[in-house]
Structure 1
Amino acid sequence: MTKYLFEATYVGEGIKGLMREGGTRRRDALVKALESVGGSLESFYYAFGDTDVLGVFEVPEQSDAAALALMINSTGTVRVRLRPLMEPEDIDAAAQKTPAYRPPGQ
């Protein structure tokens, strides 16, 4: 399973829906969406500023995360951004690899 950091911003009717439903019902809606693809919610926080919601979730496949982001963003009420999270051991493994690469102009 892959963990993702998510950031979400309510827009337009999404803000009105949040005010009507409250924060816990919106969190519960995300939990159900994650469960529908075999995932789970690790953390969920509201914040001030450009980002309204921050958290971490886990899903089995990248395509599950992409499907969720596409579905949520397609509503036009919430804008979600995802960042895959890696363990320190993933970076250790990456540091041992030497991909072939030619910088521009060389």
Structure 2
Amino acid sequence: MSKYLFKVKLTVDGLHGLLKEGGTARREVVDRMVQSLGGRVESMYWAFGDEDAYVTVDLPSNTSAAAMGLITSAAGGVRTSTVVLLSPDEIDDAVRQKVDYRAPGA
């Protein structure tokens, strides 16, 4: 499984829904959605600031993450931004990769 961070900004419609249903009910919706994609929610936090919520999930693939972002944004209640999270072991693997690259002007 791969790990993703969804940064969520509520639209006006999303804010109305949150006020009507509450945060716990929305968490349950997110849990069901992620499970339907074969994943699990690691954490979900409501926040002050530029984003209204942060959701960390384990999903089977980038395709699953894209589906989640597309479906939730298309519904109109939120706008999402997705960050692929890498473990220290994955970074170690990346560091060991041989890459043929020349910096500009070098």
TM-score per shorter chain, which class?
over 0.9
- Structure 2 residue aligned with 1:45: 45
Equivalent-residue separation in structure 1 for 2:41 and 2:96 (angstroms): 32
Equivalent-residue separation in structure 2 for 1:68 and 1:6 (angstroms): 9
**Secondary structure class of the residue paired with 1:76:** coil
Q: Which runs of 5+ in 2 are unaligned?
A: none
Equivalent-residue separation in structure 2 for 1:103 and 1:3 (angstroms): 31
- Structure 1 residue aligned with 2:90: 90
| Percent pairwise identity | 40
Q: How many residues align?
A: 106
Give me the CA root mean square deviation. Answer: 1.2
**Secondary structure class of the residue paired with 1:82:** strand
Q: TM-score, normalised by structure 2?
A: 0.93
Tell me the amino acid that sits aligned with residue 12 of structure 1. V
Deviating above 4 A after TM superposition, structure 1's stretches of 4 or more consecutive aligned residues are none
Q: TM-score, normalised by structure 1?
A: 0.93
Query: 1:1-106 residue pairs with structure 2 within 5 A?
Result: 1-105=1-105
Equivalent-residue separation in structure 1 for 2:91 and 2:46 (angstroms): 30
| CA displacement 1:21-74 (0-9 Å, x = unmatched) | 100111111111101111110101111111110121111111001001011111
**Secondary structure class of the residue paired with 1:70:** helix
Equivalent-residue separation in structure 1 for 2:72 and 2:55 (angstroms): 15
Deviation of the 1:105 alpha carbon = 4.8
| CA displacement 1:50-99 (0-9 Å, x = unmatched) | 11101211111110010010111112210111111111111111111121
Deviation of the 1:102 alpha carbon = 3.2
Equivalent-residue separation in structure 2 for 1:89 and 1:39 (angstroms): 21
Q: Which runs of 5+ in 1 are unaligned?
A: none
